[in-house]
Homo-oligomer: A and B are copies of this chain.
Amino acid sequence: MGMGRPREFDAETALDQAMEVFWRHGYEGATIAQLTEAMGINPPSLYACFGNKEGLLKAALDRYSKLRGVWMDEVVAAPTAREVAERMLLGIADKQTDPANPPGCLLVQGGIACGTGSENVPFELAARRAENEDQLRDRFIRAKAEGDLKPTSDPAALARYVSAVSVGMGVMASSGSDREALRQVASVAVQAVEAQSVGRT
């Protein structure tokens, strides 16, 4: 038995284009017509490869999380909790205003509130954000064990805090805030982590 006609497009390249459309218009705001045009394929190819619109979103999120994960590994490699927060938030300020991508963060722009039939999309995004938060929390737990964070500090709360600031910055970026404004927010935000650090300079 034969193996059939080979696909004429590259799935990852197409996913990058789809990611951009979801990023810019959100899950519900993105139409199949926009997606297929950006991906350079026709609807049947999309459905054969990704199942349906939600399957395409999940594939795009997988790709986004993968790239993001590499960067997060560099972030948590910083020597102190304060520097982790600084690297993360200042880095996010730059990433979310990078003209190479739509403004903001796909994990926020993708869909915060959705209509009937797409209720699980916001939870899907939240689950991805939670992964980042978990990674931060683990890093802050280590920082506390190393005596870098105060014995009274709450690593989970700190991680939630940094995650919340990231999300807030993403919304600001998508509604027009420029890089300098986001960097200012990041700088102020880092001071809360610094206040929980032991050897503050």
Q: A: which residues have CB within 8 A of B? A: 23-26, 28-31, 34, 104, 108-116, 118, 122-123, 125-126, 129, 154, 156-158, 160-161, 163-169, 171-172, 174-177, 181, 184-185, 187-192, 194-196
Give complex CA distance A2, B194 in Å: 70
Closest approach, in angstroms, between the C-beta of A114 and any C-beta of chain B? 5
**How many copies of this chain are found per oligomer?**
2
Q: Is the CB of B165 within 8 A of A164?
A: yes
Residues of B within 8 A of A192 (CB): 188-192, 195
Closest approach, in angstroms, between the C-beta of A102 and any C-beta of chain B? 9
Residues of B within 8 A of A190 (CB): 192
24 residue pairs A–B, Cβ–Cβ below 8 Å? A23-B113, A25-B116, A26-B113, A26-B114, A28-B29, A29-B113, A30-B115, A104-B112, A108-B171, A111-B113, A112-B112, A123-B176, A154-B184, A160-B177, A160-B185, A161-B184, A161-B185, A163-B172, A164-B172, A165-B165, A165-B168, A167-B167, A168-B168, A192-B195
Q: Is the CB of A122 within 8 A of B185?
A: no
Q: Is the CB of B184 within 8 A of A31?
A: no
Nearest CB in chain B to that of A109: its residue:
B113
Residues of B within 8 A of A177 (CB): 160
Q: Is the CB of A167 within 8 A of B161?
A: no
Give complex CA distance A80, B113 in Å: 35
Give complex CA distance A155, B111 in Å: 32
Cβ-neighbour of A169 out of B112, B113, B126, B164 (below 8 A):
B164
